[in-house]
Amino acid sequence: MLIIQHVYGEPVVNLASLDLNLVVALRALLEERNVTRAGRRVGLSQPAMSAALARLRRHFDDDLLSRVGGHYELTALGQVLLDRTSAACDLLERLFTSQADFDPAREEREFTIVSSDYAVAVFGAELARTVHREAPGIRLRFTQTPSGLMDSVATLLSTTDGLLIPHGVISDFPATELYRDRWVFVVAEDHPDIGDRLTRADLARLPWVTYQRTYDAPAVRQLGMLGIEPHVEASADSFTLLPFLVAGTRRIALLQERLARRLRAVAPVRIMEAPYEAVPLQEALWWHPVHTHDAAHIWLRETAARVGAMVNSETIHGVDDEDPGVRSPGD
């Protein structure tokens, strides 16, 4: 029996009275939309699954599944619960697979890390090389940062092993510090209107290529505070594409310096110092507190911090002699 209390008018479920098997049954029912198939999926008979559905309907005071013709469809509440139940099950699986001990040389496990293509190119590739050497049974899976990140940070972190994103975008979750970077501009190598320096007037009059997601929010906010409103001529869901969309045009783009230097060999662009003191970029690995004491995740965080220190040791300043387009504002 589910015991529901009310605190300040809001319903609160007493977890001690909650049958976790109902969560598994709820997920199967909502995803399969068929009592028989849902029962087969979780190893219950059709009568047992029907009984579970009846209990769930009483708890939520909603049909959850309503018959339309010869099949079932989700009710409005059922549709809401579909994503929430999936996230809850993923979180429970991670909770109950936490380990007290972890030997990276012998264990087999997959870690899922959400990241932009920038962080994979600059940090993730080196992390993968380190894991390849030290933990041959460990698999890394990098997935793209979702466009609706700000609306679902908690859910995202509860269903993955970490999120690579700099400070200034999210907060209120633990993070492992990785490395520093800088925001610079890239312009075509043969840009007809730009000499050795960019000016704020250049930023206002020239067309831009921009990144479509929230990753660069602090840098974009700074532009707004400076009164610079980019005239966006093209945008992309990838930082790596920005120099290629700039090359051979009058466009400009804001890009992380470590990535810009990696791409300069394949995209004919110049790297230019910002005509203002750009906000710093401190990359971090954000994770859900459920992973705090998991030995495997502790190893992942420690390895990430070690790789981040390696990336940090790569000099990105003091190269003016190699690229006259990169100069500090005071030069």
State the chain's mean pLDDT as an integer: 84
Distance CA 40, CA 211 (A): 45
Answer whether residue 174 shows pLDDT above 90: yes
Take residue 197 and report the two structure tokens written for it: 């320096």
How large is the average pLDDT for residues 230-239? Answer: 93
Q: Which of 44, 64, 46 is nearest to 55 (CA)?
A: 64
Answer whether residue 200 shows pLDDT above 50: yes
Going by pLDDT thresholds of 50, 70 and 90, the confidence category of residue 7 is very low
What's phi and psi for 23, nearest 5 deg? -65, -45
Q: Which of 226, 227, 267 is nearest to 244 (CA)?
A: 267
Distance CA 302, CA 235 (A): 35
- Total H helices, total E strands in the chain: 12, 14
Domains and CATH numbers, the chain: 4-96 (1.10.10.10), 102-331 (3.40.190.290)
| pLDDT value of residue 13 | 54
Q: For 307-318, write each residue's pLDDT tens digit.
A: 999 999 986 653
Q: For 18-58, write each residue's pLDDT tens digit.
A: 666 788 888 888 888 888 888 888 888 888 888 888 888 88
Answer whether residue 133 shows pLDDT above 90: yes
First CA to last CA distance, the chain: 73
Distance CA 78, CA 58 (A): 13
How large is the average pLDDT for residues 123-148? Answer: 93
Residues 6+ apart with CB under 8 A from 266: none
Going by pLDDT thresholds of 50, 70 and 90, the confidence category of residue 77 is confident
Q: How far is CA 317 from CA 235, 246, 267, 274, in A?
A: 28, 23, 21, 14
